[in-house]
Structures are given as C-alpha cells and as structure tokens.
Structure 1
Amino acid sequence: MSASPEPRSTTTLPKAHLHLHFTGSMRITTLRDLAAKHGFRLPDSLLSAWPPHLSGTDERGWFRFQRLYDAARACVRDEEDMRRVVREAAEDDAREGSRWLEIQVDPTSYATHLGGITPTLEIVLDEARRAGEATGTGVGVVVAASRLRHPLDARTLARLAVKHAGEGSGSVVGFGLSNDERRGVTEEFAHAFSIAREGGLASVPHAGELLGPAAVSHTLDALAPDRLGHGVRSVESDVVLKRVVDAGVALEVCPRSNVALGVYREPEQVPLRTLIDAGARIALGADDPLLFGSRLVAQYDSARLDHDLPDSALAELARSSVRASRAPADVRARTLKEIDAWES
C-alpha cells in the first residue's frame, strides 16, 4: 500500500493577506526594543507572559485587550519606528508566502508625534512602497477610522485616503472602520464611506465578530462593504449569510483571533466550513499577531488541522484571498498561477 502524500507546506502556498493591523503586526521583539528605546515599561503580559490571555466578549475583557493595544501603540513614536513596523510586516508576510499585503492603519493614532495625519500616512505609504520593492510582497494600505472617534474625523480620514488612492505598493487601496464594534453608530459613518467609495477605495469595515448578524446586516445597509473584517457571526442567521454571499462580500476571517478573544471557545468552533459550504468568499487573516501570538500561516494551519480541509480547499482559500484583494491585476494573475502550481 502506498503511503499518503505529505501535506504541502502552507508557508509556500502563495496567498494574499488582507486583515493585518499596523500596531498589531509588530513582532514582540520589536515592541520590546521600542519600549526600551523610549523608556516605557510594558505590562507583564507583553513580557514574560506573552502571548496574553485575552477576552473581548465583555466590557472588562475588551478593556484589557485595548489597554495592551494602547501600550504597544504608545511605543511607536517617530518616523524610524513607523518605517520599521511596515518593513517588518512585509518581511514577515514574504516569509509566509504572501504575495500581497494590505496593512490597516489609523494615522490619527500616531499623528501627535509626527506632525499630523498627512505626514504620518505619507511615511507609511513611502515605506510600503520601499518594502514592496525589497521583499517582492506588494504592500497596499487601508486607512481605518475608529468607532471611538467622531464620524466627522472619519470623513477627514476618508478625504486624506482618497488623495493617496492608487494601485500597487505605497498606495491607499481601502477604507476601514475598526475598534470595538459595540461602540459608535454604524450609520453615522456612512458619509465617510461614501467619500472613500467615490474615490475608488474598497469599503472594508469590521463587523460580525463581537456582535451578531444584526450588526452585519446594518453594516451591509449603511456602508456597502466590499469586504467585512471578520463577519463570521453572519452564520447565526441564514438570511444574513445569504445576503453576504449573494452580494459577493468577502469575509476576512481570522480564526486564531476569534478564539483568543473568546468569540469561540475552541478552534474547531470557528464556522469556517459553514461559510465555505454556503459559498462565502473568504480571505484568512492574522489580525493582530502581536497580541494573539500567531501570524498568517497559522490561520491556514488551523484550517487544515482544526477543520480537516484538504490542500485543494486551502488552495481555494488562497485564491479567494487574491481575488478579494486590491492587488494590481498582474499581481493577482501571477499569484493565481502560482497557487495552481502549488496545488498540482
């Protein structure tokens, strides 16, 4: 009897990475370096106890998550720091087979130390272009507004994002809405997303992780998304899930994030197979490796090990990530051919 073939490496599987936050992309070693550089003391859960034990399913749990995130963000204080984070994110993605990365950043978070939101974004875009050239992994940028800020701030960010819209590394390719989806009123951000959409940017808000299918439905109505950050809880309503599938809205599914934040207790409970069987477009993402302790390949490994997906299904997930991306047409075409070669 012939032995079963060895599974193909998920590291060498060509793919796109569409859900990675700027601060959360940091290597833990980089965070510790920056903390030492600027004289900050990090919480123990970002030192000896890393990765931290987290929960986002209640206000107390989310507060702890946000406190750690804010501590990390405070360590990024100058242009050199900003460039290092972008460069290392591209390097890490390149090592994991990613041919295209869309990194999400809210320039407001760093503007105080860098002269405003415009120079902050320009630093990120310039380094994205350089990193793309150096690594061979293209880096597009998603400008993200925060639910914790006024919707007028989101409009300002949308106008800034449109000014830098384009294709290829070093361009803004999308506009997002992040932070605790239980905060803010989704409909109040509609004008900002209209500005971004009219400027040619993809609409990529978060919805459907901490809240259920009603939040997904509201987001579909108000923000006309091309993709949803997470969106996994749309499975709790057949009607909403059908809306997502029929509209062709891609879901940026981050399995290890869902488990780390307590949305699902075990990796097997993440409804990846349900979404696939329903015909949903899916792009696996790492979300915040700094806090969750896992990067992009770990999400594909979870799909294989926790959901028993064969290599053919992993290849299709990779194709879906590429098709849902805003990568230039030549990058998409080349990567799809490389996925076919990986599977053959």
Structure 2
Amino acid sequence: MRQDLRMESVRDVRLLPKAHLHLHFTGSMRSDTLLELADKYGVHLPEALSSGEPPKLRATDERGWFRFQRLYDIARSCLRAPEDIQRLVREAAEEDVRDGSGWLEIQVDPTSYAPRLGGLIPALEIILDAVETASKETGLGMRVLVAANRMKHPLDARTLARLAVRYADRGVVGFGLSNDERRGLARDFDRAFEIAREGGLLAAPHGGELSGPSSVRDCLDDLRAARVGHGVRAAEDPRLMRKLAERGVTCEVCPSSNVALGVYEKPGDVPLRTLWDAGVPIALGADDPLLFGSRLAAQYELVREHHGFTDAELAELARQSVRGSAAPEPVRAGLLRGIDDWLAG
C-alpha cells in the first residue's frame, strides 16, 4: 500500500502553490547568514548554532525550553542594523519562493529588536519596509503578523496590539501570542486581542503544542482565535476537533518542530491524519528553520512520506493554507488556480 502511494505521489511539492502562515522572524534566518552576522559583530556562537547542523533540542521541560530560547536570543542578537533586517527578510522570501509559497505571513515581536533599531516604532517600520521591498523584488505576497510575548505583562501586549492596528495599512494583517504556552493564562491577553480584532486584524495565538488541548480551547474561547499556532494537541480531544472544524479555525501545524522539540518522538507520531479526518483545517508551517533544519516544502514531503498523503490530499492541504491566510481575494484565487493546475499536471 505504501509503495502504491509513493508511486502516485510523483509531483514536486516545491512547485505546489501554497501559503506559509507560521514562520518566525529570526528563526527564518539562513545558517550561513547567521555565521556571517556573528562574525561581523563579534558574537560568539555556541556549537549548536555554528556547526551548520540543527541543534539537538527537547523543550518539553523548562530546562529544554530555556535552552531553545537562549539559542534563539543569541541568533536574534546578531540582527543589529536595518541592512541586517533587510537581508533576513529578502532571504526568507527567496527561500519561500523556492519552496512554492505564493503568500507569506512572517511573525515578529518588534519589541525584541527595538533596543538596537532606535525604538519600537522605528523597529516595526524597518521591518515593514523590508517586507515591502522583498515582496516587490521576489514577487512573493508578504505581510506581517505582530506577536506579543506571553512571558511579558499583558499591558505590553495591549501596547503592541494598538501599534499593530496603527500599521494595518502598511502590511500588518494579524496579531499573535508566542513563547512558552505553559506560562500565563490566555484570558490575561483578551483585551489585547480585542483591540486587534476591532482594528481588523486576524487573531492567531499559539496553543496546543507544549500544552495540551486546554490551551487550544483557551485560544478559541478567551481570544476568539481565527487561527491557532500549532494546535496539534487538539487531536487528543474529539469534541475540540469538532469545534475547530465547525468554526473553520485553521491550525498552523509544524511537524518538524513538533519532533525537534520532543512533543512527538518521530514524524509519524504527529497526529496529522487525526486532525485531517476530523475536518480540522491545516496549514503546514516551518516555524523556525534556523533551529529545526527544514523549510516549507520539507513539511509537505514529511506528510507525504510519513503519513501517506496523496498528491490530491497535499493539494487540499495547500488550499487550506490559502483559505486560512489573510491574502486578498485576487491572490487567493490565483494560488487556488495554481494548485488545481499542479494537480492536473
């Protein structure tokens, strides 16, 4: 049976048009770029970041998450000037285009870059300018999702939400909530998400990766999420899956990071089929390629290889990513036509 599926699955997934809805800013960096920037600024990189191989990670306990966050922070410290931001964004766009993405929503907490870029507003403007330029240069539809940090005070999240709404006409399309979902209560951030929704932004908090189904439920009930970052642990609760399916809430599933962080032992353990069979919309994402070692097309290859998804099913996954995006209707229509052409070809 598996051999038959492989014979049917002959189309190149890099040519499959798709949307990329879960990619973190620093985590999108190329390894070679990190090495060059570290050398430029005299930043000592630990072997986990300098070896050229994905680091060995496991974040299911606090020590493991601290190590993951420390590596991320070291990499972020190498982004110090506008030209560094421009390079990162341009290269992220180039990688996505290479993987068949026609629409990218890159996620960033501008407060993390503000100290080196002249403040919160200049940091966001530099990021948005870089996104606009990269989009024009590569032809990739590209927007920004501003994310608050759940490790910080909810008042900080409200400030970010107001800022995100202010720049909705400059390329901000959504508002998120990232970092360790085991910390803080989703309802503490309900006012920030209310501000974002009232400003026309899509609500896309993280939930259901390091924590179980209850964190996904909190995203739905307390933050009125239109999408859930990860959400894969919803597979443990049939009633919750029905709610996601009925509401059409897209889960941004990132299989490689699920395995790298120890949420599941191996790719075949990620419950993609369970979510799929329950009718939960899925958008595959790469999360942090710098740390997890694979980008968008590799997620589709993983689903084909380890979950037996046919090309018709992969095409439907791509459609779900497009439908779950904030892309304008002409972009959506073009991508959906391209998906049909890929499958017909």
In which range does the TM-score fall when normalised by the shorter chain?
A: over 0.9
Q: Which residue is equivalent to 2:273?
A: 273
C-alpha change, 1:310 and 1:6, in structure 2 (3 Å) is: closer
Comparing 3-12 with 329-338, which one deviates more in the overlay? Answer: 3-12
Instruction: Please give the alpha-carbon distance, in whole angstroms, between the structure 2 residues aligned to 1:99 and 1:4.
Output: 27
> Which amino acid in 2 is paired with 1:165?
A
Q: Which residue is equivalent to 2:297?
A: 297
Tell me how many residue pairs correspond in the alignment: 339
**What aligned pairs does 1:302-317 form with structure 2 within 5 A after superposition?**
302-317=302-317
2:178 is equivalent to residue 205 of structure 1: no
Q: Which residue is equivalent to 2:3?
A: none
Q: Which residue is equivalent to 1:258?
A: 258
Percent identity between the two aligned chains: 62
* C-alpha displacement of 1:50: 2.1
**SS of equivalent to 2:22:** strand
Q: Which residue is equivalent to 2:16?
A: 13
Q: Which residue is equivalent to 2:331?
A: 331
Q: Which residue is equivalent to 2:189?
A: 189
Instruction: Please give the alpha-carbon distance, in whole angstroms, between the structure 1 residues aligned to 2:79 and 2:175.
Output: 22
Q: Which residue is equivalent to 1:149?
A: 152
* C-alpha displacement of 1:335: 0.5
**CA shift digits 1:237-263 (9 cap, x unpaired):** 111111211121100000000000000
**SS of equivalent to 1:177:** strand
> Which amino acid in 1 is paired with 2:325?
S
**SS of equivalent to 1:184:** coil
**What aligned pairs does 1:39-50 form with structure 2 within 5 A after superposition?**
39-48=42-51, 50=53
> Which amino acid in 1 is paired with 2:161?
A
2:333 is equivalent to residue 343 of structure 1: no
* C-alpha displacement of 1:6: 6.2
**What aligned pairs does 1:33-182 form with structure 2 within 5 A after superposition?**
33-48=36-51, 50-166=53-169, 171-182=171-182
Instruction: Please give the alpha-carbon distance, in whole angstroms, between the structure 2 residues aligned to 1:238 and 1:273.
Output: 13
Instruction: Please give the alpha-carbon distance, in whole angstroms, between the structure 2 residues aligned to 1:105 and 1:121.
Output: 9
**SS of equivalent to 1:100:** strand
Is this contact kept in 1: 2:8–2:310, CA < 8 A? no
Instruction: Please give the alpha-carbon distance, in whole angstroms, between the structure 2 residues aligned to 1:86 and 1:151.
Output: 28
> Which amino acid in 2 is paired with 1:134?
E
Q: Which residue is equivalent to 1:220?
A: 220
> Which amino acid in 2 is paired with 1:108?
T
Instruction: Please give the alpha-carbon distance, in whole angstroms, between the structure 1 residues aligned to 2:332 and 2:126.
Output: 26
Instruction: Please give the alpha-carbon distance, in whole angstroms, between the structure 2 residues aligned to 1:262 and 1:27.
Output: 23
**CA shift digits 1:194-251 (9 cap, x unpaired):** 0000000000000000000111111211100000000000111111111211121100
5+ residue gaps, structure 2: 1-5
**SS of equivalent to 1:263:** coil
5+ residue gaps, structure 1: none
Is this contact kept in 1: 2:17–2:318, CA < 8 A? yes
Instruction: Please give the alpha-carbon distance, in whole angstroms, between the structure 1 residues aligned to 2:55 and 2:229.
Output: 22
Instruction: Please give the alpha-carbon distance, in whole angstroms, between the structure 2 residues aligned to 1:185 and 1:64.
Output: 23
Q: TM-score, normalised on structure 2?
A: 0.96
Q: Which residue is equivalent to 1:246?
A: 246
> Which amino acid in 1 is paired with 2:275?
L
Comparing 194-203 with 183-192, which one deviates more in the overlay? Answer: 183-192
Q: TM-score, normalised on structure 1?
A: 0.97
Instruction: Please give the alpha-carbon distance, in whole angstroms, between the structure 2 residues aligned to 1:48 and 1:101.
Output: 28
Instruction: Please give the alpha-carbon distance, in whole angstroms, between the structure 2 residues aligned to 1:198 and 1:101.
Output: 23
**SS of equivalent to 2:283:** strand
Comparing 48-57 with 281-290, which one deviates more in the overlay? Answer: 48-57
**SS of equivalent to 1:142:** strand
* C-alpha displacement of 1:183: 1.0
Q: Which residue is equivalent to 2:229?
A: 229
**CA shift digits 1:304-327 (9 cap, x unpaired):** 000010000000000000010001
Is this contact kept in 1: 2:60–2:261, CA < 8 A? yes
* C-alpha displacement of 1:118: 0.7
C-alpha change, 1:108 and 1:6, in structure 2 (3 Å) is: closer
Instruction: Please give the alpha-carbon distance, in whole angstroms, between the structure 1 residues aligned to 2:108 and 2:8.
Output: 41
Instruction: Please give the alpha-carbon distance, in whole angstroms, between the structure 2 residues aligned to 1:194 and 1:87.
Output: 32
**SS of equivalent to 1:265:** coil
